[in-house]
Amino acid sequence: MADVILNMAYVALLAAAFTTTLGRLRVLLIVGACCFLIFGLATEIWSMVAWNVAIGGLHAFRMARDFRVQRSVDLTAEESVMRDRLSPAVSDFDFHMFWAMGTEVLYNNRRVIARGSCPPIVSLICDGEVEVRDESGSTIATLGPGSLIGEMSFVSAQPSTADVFALGVVTAREWDQRKLRSLEQTHSPSARAFQRLISRDLIAKTNPGAELG
């Protein structure tokens, strides 16, 4: 029986090497520490018992602290409105993690994205409108609040096929594409929220009459 418990500990440590989220990593390390603790008690290896009480206890404490931090996050009025509009199923903490990665930018009657360029950012229009124009200068589409720009280059990793111009003053929230690409490793719930946002945006642009829930 002791050998089974010891092997369970090693399996938990091996699984921990393949997890991509901190929460799951801590759970697996706690499971491994508990198994080593039980093995140490069964075989009377007291140093193993002491070390794994400390290791498991530390990770349990950090998990509890992270949980309290997540529950204590209060969204601002702007964040609450945008979360309810864009990702109503996402928790306050997960939306805040994603939103805080971006910066607010103002554009005033100028080009936001140049055709043929690879924009380093993805932008969400918060207020105002932009025009999407083809190579002849003709307007392809007019986008307003809630629409993303630069998302096609993010998805395809290809240069933009159109110019995007701000019509008057436009307020946008911008995210660095490199940070967005690393979001899956740093905070996967926020990454999933962003992927849903892109999916909703692409559906709306492909089929403007679609009902998005």
148 burial (CB, 10 Å; 0-12 / 13-18 / 19+) is: buried
Q: Model confidence over 112-134: pLDDT tens digits?
A: 999 888 888 899 998 999 999 98
The CATH classification number of 77-206 equals 2.60.120.10
Cα–Cα distance for residue pair 10/191, rounded to 1 Å: 30
Kind of pairing between the strands at 148-149 and 121-133? antiparallel
- The one-letter code for the residue type at 170 is V
* Token representation of residue 16: 């921990």
In this structure, are residues 195 and 98 in contact, taking their beta carbons and an 8 Å threshold? no
* Token representation of residue 213: 């829930």
Q: Model confidence over 61-81: pLDDT tens digits?
A: 888 877 776 565 677 777 777
User: What residue ranges do the domains of the chain occupy?
Assistant: 2-72, 77-206
